[in-house]
Amino acid sequence: MYEKYVNLSFKPSRNQLITTLHLEASNIKHAAGGVAAESSIGTWQEVTTEKSYMKKLAATVFSMKKQDKGTEIKIAYPPELFEEGNMPNILSSIAGNIFGLQELKALRLLDIDFPKSIIKSFKGPELGIKDIRRLLKIKKRPLVGTIIKPKLGLNSKDHAKVAYEAWIGGLDLVKCDENLASQKFNKFETNIKETLKMLEKAEKETGERKIYAPNVTAETKEMIRRAKLVKEKGGNCIMVDIITAGWAALQTLREENQDLKLILHAHRAGHAAFTRGKYGMSMLPIAKIARLIGVSQIHTGTANIGKMESGEEETQAVNSFLMSKWFSIKPVFPIASGGLHAGYVPKLVSLLGNDLIIQAGGGVHALGTRIGATSMRQAVDAIEKEIPLQEYSKTHKELKVALDKFGYVR
């Protein structure tokens, strides 16, 4: 029954949605057909209710390539199978029930090629790389930022002071951590009030534009209320935990952002629950979905550096996609974050390029926020001036403090 969904001589047309998956099973053809059937019009039985006019909606496995372990398969979906502009609907098909099929030993969604008709049904980012660079008046160098640490527990005034020190030290961006929302010790309203006051002060004192990314993640209506509050109070950016908030919530937030015009910073907390395992998807489809819906910048990994797991080639592929031309969907800033410090900056830039936001939490605040922030900024300045980090640190004491503590990674 499932095998009729496999046709290796089928040539998909450009208007079809294509998925690439890694599959392991004892009967590959049956399992691959099952994935195509269950993600389109089929089930485990021929059903008497099927009509001849709907056969054209069936998905087709058109490629099966045996690999060292498992098989890479490609499936073509007719676009009529999906409701345009409805990401939960699309994913309930192509990344839904299929992961639970009993006969599979592994199934990972590696890539999604969206056809033009679906791409055009989403807005993409309101603000992208060029808009952010224009706002900050930074032409070429990577942006540098920090995550306020300790991640939870600081009261609003102390939280704002840490942000101020980071901006004064030379950082472009300060963000809340993924699990700060509006807890009793730092309510969202007071957080915004105190921190945006400090942002204004830091901008006046440094003559530079700065970004503050408060975490608005909450139930959707509350998240929108918080985003509007940020706009009303003069903020320029919001952060959202895209995985835990969910794609529908992100779509709604993006709709609102049509008017708010805030930078949308996407944190991916929770992604590893399905990017690291045998069942799930890799970071590339997540980045594609997020860009299509419309984030401005997104955490993508650190290319095998730092504290979080992320392969070098995978991070490079994801980042290249985010920056590539994609119909009218604006390019998006990749963010490298997790266990970073100034000594890593040259290696990160050599691996991932200049269109990058580099963030360090512990790598900044362990040194004293202002010193740590300055060390990060000096590291990107050294790259811009093409001066080796160690040489630059001879005349830049904060960088020297960082290199002495953390070392320098070539």
Catalytic residue among 74, 123, 149, 396: 149
Catalytic site residue 267? yes
The smaller minimum CB distance to ligand RUB, of residues 78 and 363, is found at: 363
Catalytic site residue 149? yes
Distance of closest approach, residue 59 Cβ to ligand RUB, in angstroms? 31
Rounded Cα–Cα distance for residues 87 and 253 (Å): 13
Distance of closest approach, residue 302 Cβ to ligand RUB, in angstroms? 7
Rounded Cα–Cα distance for residues 6 and 228 (Å): 49
Q: Which residue has the tokens 């224009």?
A: 134
The smaller minimum CB distance to ligand RUB, of residues 37 and 358, is found at: 358
- What six digits make up the tokens of 185? 């010790």
Interacting residues toward ligand RUB by CB under 6 A: 147, 149, 177-178, 268, 299, 301, 307-308, 337-340, 360-363
Residue 337: what residue type?
S
Catalytic residue among 123, 267, 288, 341: 267
Distance of closest approach, residue 257 Cβ to ligand RUB, in angstroms? 22
The smaller minimum CB distance to ligand RUB, of residues 41 and 345, is found at: 345
Residue (of 126, 120, 68, 77) closest to 98 by Cα position: 77
Rounded Cα–Cα distance for residues 217 and 224 (Å): 9
CB 41 within 8 A of CB 68: no
The smaller minimum CB distance to ligand RUB, of residues 175 and 396, is found at: 175
Distance of closest approach, residue 133 Cβ to ligand RUB, in angstroms? 21
DSSP string of 180-244, one letter each residue? -SS-TTS-HHHHHHHHHHHHHHHHHHHSS--EEE-B--SSHHHHHHHHHHHHHTT--EEEEEHHH
Distances (CA, A) of 366 to 35, 143, 159, 344, 397: 49, 20, 15, 15, 16
Rounded Cα–Cα distance for residues 258 and 377 (Å): 32
Distance of closest approach, residue 195 Cβ to ligand RUB, in angstroms? 18
The smaller minimum CB distance to ligand RUB, of residues 337 and 393, is found at: 337
Q: Which of the residues are catalytic?
A: 149, 267
